Amino acid sequence: MVKVLFVCLGNICRSPTAEGVFRDLVEKKGLSSQIITDSAGTGDWHVGKAPDGRAQKAAKTRGYDLSDLRARQAKPKDFVEFDYVLAMDRSNYSNLQSICPAGYEDRLHMFLSFDPDSPEVEVPDPYFGGPAGFDYVLDLVEEASEGLMQDIQRDYQVS
Ligand code: 4NP
């Protein structure tokens, strides 16, 4: 079993979008019994809430249903449980570094590092902007999800 955790600040925009997109890819490849997905926020303001309505709407337009997801806060134990802890931006990365137990640092990555052709290093926070920001998040996340899947299939012999 390979476990993947997507992390942003609030866990209501970027990381649930990434979870929904990657979960869909896992299902399409018939790997749901081998790859587990989850998401979390470094902050606790939105714990228990469903993804932002704008994120849900943008995702739905591309066929992803985020409605069952609920926000939670990332915790040190996540590094023990998850093989991949994927930060959406540098600030998330740095906050995650500060709660990572010794010996688990190699599980932390910038999510977009799985797309070598990505025009961005960070997934920009769409929370304070318009609908286009949510669409752009989906563009970046769809590409990086493909690269992440290749990485998992290669390193864990999942097929
Ligand atoms: P996310 O977006 O980190 O992609 O979920 C945000 C959600 C909420 C806030 C900031 C970013 N906020 O300040 O409440």
Predicted local distance difference test score (pLDDT) of residue 62 = 98
Predicted local distance difference test score (pLDDT) of residue 106 = 98
Between the CA of 45 and the centroid of ligand 1 the distance, in Å, is: 9
Buried residues in 41-66 as b, exposed as e (16+ CB within 10 A): bbbeebeebbbbebbbebbeeeebeb
Beta bridge partners of 43: none
Known active-site residue 8: yes
Work out the burial of residue 74: count CB atoms within 10 Å of its CB; fewer than 13 is exposed, 13-18 middle, 19 or more buried.
buried
Predicted local distance difference test score (pLDDT) of residue 144 = 98
Q: Which atom of ligand 1 is nearest to the CA of 92?
A: 3
Residue ranges for the chain with pLDDT beneath 70: none
Interatomic CA distance for residues 110 and 113, integer angstroms: 5
- Catalytic choice (14, 23, 54, 107): 14
Known active-site residue 14: yes
